[in-house]
């Protein structure tokens, strides 16, 4: 079991706008789906709201202190990072941190690997960003081309 951050990021480190992805690249969505299938995904409440339903064939873990999240089939609501990490010990799959910005930040010290899709644009009016140094303690281990303009880079903790 590994804890893996997976993110699509624009050239200006943008990852979101108005609670959504500010771009649409089907190759990236397909990569995300194929990579996370049969695994667990951890998301914050805003990411959960933007997706709107459980991702199929994955354990959907929503990290939120909000009481406004109604019980959902195939969704596990947890209240703290500690609960996620305690649960992770019992998983027979990888645990993907899928966003948003606060959730990435909360798990930054335990993420062992990053999968980063490079989006070939800047999003001037974005409102969610990755920190510029989020890969500081990681080494590039692999690079894959998804489509003519998309690349995914894999990074492992040093």
Q: How many domains does the chain have?
A: 1
Most distant CA pair in the chain, distance:
43
**pLDDT at residue 97, as a whole number:** 98
Question: CA-to-CA distance for 76 and 26, rounded, in angstroms?
Answer: 27
Tokens representing 95 are 């645990």
Taking the whole predicted model, whether its pTM rises above 0.85 is answered as yes
Residue among 44, 23, 36 nearest 124 (CA): 23
**pLDDT at residue 85, as a whole number:** 96
pLDDT digits (tens, 9 = 90+) for 30-67: 999 999 999 999 999 989 989 989 999 999 999 988 76
**pLDDT at residue 60, as a whole number:** 96
pLDDT digits (tens, 9 = 90+) for 2-23: 999 999 999 999 999 998 999 9
**Partner residues linked to 59 by β-bridges:** 40
pLDDT digits (tens, 9 = 90+) for 92-147: 999 999 999 999 999 999 999 999 999 999 999 999 999 999 999 999 999 999 98
Pairing relationship of beta strands 14-16 and 40-44 according to DSSP bridges:
unpaired
**pLDDT at residue 147, as a whole number:** 84
Task: Name the more confident of 68 and 114.
Answer: 114
Domain, as residue range, for 12: 3-157
Helices (H), the chain: 26-36, 45-51, 81-88, 101-107
Question: CA-to-CA distance for 37 and 39, rounded, in angstroms?
Answer: 5
| Domain harbouring 87, CATH code | 3.40.430.10
């Amino acid at each position: 079991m590994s804890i893996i951050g997976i993110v699509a990021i624009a050239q200006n480190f943008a990852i979101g706008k108005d609670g959504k992805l500010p771009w649409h690249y089907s190759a990236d969505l397909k990569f995300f789906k194929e990579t996370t299938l049969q695994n667990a995904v951890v998301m914050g409440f805003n990411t959960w709201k933007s997706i709107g339903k459980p991702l199929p064939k994955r354990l959907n873990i929503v990290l939120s202190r909000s009481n406004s999240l109604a019980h959902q089939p195939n969704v596990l609501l947890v209240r703290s990072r500690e609960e996620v990490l305690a649960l992770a010990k019992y998983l027979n799959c990888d645990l993907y941190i899928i966003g948003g910005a606060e959730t990435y930040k909360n798990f930054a010290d335990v993420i062992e690997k990053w999968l980063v899709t490079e989006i070939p644009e800047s999003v001037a009016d974005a409102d969610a960003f990755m920190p510029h140094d989020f890969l500081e303690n990681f080494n590039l281990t692999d690079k894959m081309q998804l489509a003519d303009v998309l690349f995914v880079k894999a990074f492992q903790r040093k």
